Amino acid sequence: MPEFDNLVAVVTGGASGIGAAIAARLAEGGARVAVLDLNPADADPAHFALEANVADRASVDAAIATVAEKFGRIDVVVNNAGIGAQGTIADNDDDEWARVFSINVTGIARVSSAALPWLRQSPSAAIVNTSSIAATAGLPARALYTASKGAVLSLTRAMAADHLREGIRVNAVNPGTADTPWVARLLDSADDPEAERAALNARQPHGRLVSPQEVADAVAYLASPRSGSTTGTAIAVDGGMQEL
């Protein structure tokens, strides 16, 4: 039997990059997938895609209600929507701190709390949050982003403890620099994108960017009953960068 047979999975930010790979991987495993994204038109038409802004409570509540109405259940929530921020603490103003935290951190609380009543009824409930290598490696000139992704790890542990006895497991993935449209946009803005890409590859311990599929496989494991004894932890998919 496929690992996610009959299950319904919500994937935020599932219209691009890592989220799109996660949505495809869960669907491959038999899940019915709802993508919540600012740009639902970019999602694979095989999924049920809805416009939703994780930074907006009313938008999230409406989207989760629509998913529940369509499928009658929600078993898996993947909180993957996130944005980057460059610079040191001298570079981002209060509005930018509030904006990034509202998407990367509070967004997880909004989506997960809206889905809680459905997760509590699932025989196989799991939440997976996308953190980042930034949370553990301390990348330079990424203070705000790093703080937000560190908060994702702490929130993951807190949610795991709070909902353990309700049968809801909560884990995270920490991707290293991954080959997604986000990273492509950053490379394209460089003077010499090809040289920049080569340099970026060379900075990875295994000499290349992480593939979104590798992250999606880790998420699929954490979302499936195969990881039934695993909660409150994170899997690094970073080519070993965290350990170096």
Binding site for ligand NAD (CB under 6 A): 12-13, 15-19, 37-39, 52-55, 80-83, 103, 130, 132-133, 175, 177-178, 180-183
Question: Is 145 a residue of the active site?
Answer: yes
Helix ranges (H only) for 54-127 are 57-71, 94-104, 106-119
The position carrying tokens 């599932």 is 14
Q: Are strands 32-37 and 48-51 parallel, antiparallel or unpaired?
A: parallel
Residues in the chain: 244
When the beta carbons of 124 and 175 are compared against ligand NAD, the nearer one is 175
Q: Which residues pair with 87 in a beta bridge?
A: 142
Least CB distance to ligand NAD at residue 191 (A): 21
* Cα 106 from Cα 117, distance rounded (Å): 18
Q: Which is nearer to ligand NAD, 33 or 178 (CB)?
A: 178
**Distances in Å between the alpha carbon of 54 and those of 58, 107, 190?**
9, 5, 30
Phi, psi torsion values for 31, nearest 5 degrees: -75, 150
Indicate which residue of 26, 60, 145, 234 is catalytic: 145
Residue 106 tokens read as 């509070």
* Shortest distance (Å) from residue 166 CB to ligand NAD: 25
Nearest-approach distance from CB 109 to ligand NAD, in angstroms: 13
Q: Which is nearer to ligand NAD, 80 or 124 (CB)?
A: 80
Amino acid letter, residue 153? L
Which amino acid does the sequence have at 124?
S
3-state SS, residue 120: coil
Which residue, 124 or 180, is less far from ligand NAD as judged by CB? 180
Give the C-alpha separation, 137 to 140, whole Å: 9
Q: Considering the complex, what minimum distance in angstroms separates the CB of residue 88 from ligand NAD?
A: 18
Residue (16 or 171) nearer to ligand NAD, CB: 16
Q: Which residues are catalytic?
A: 145
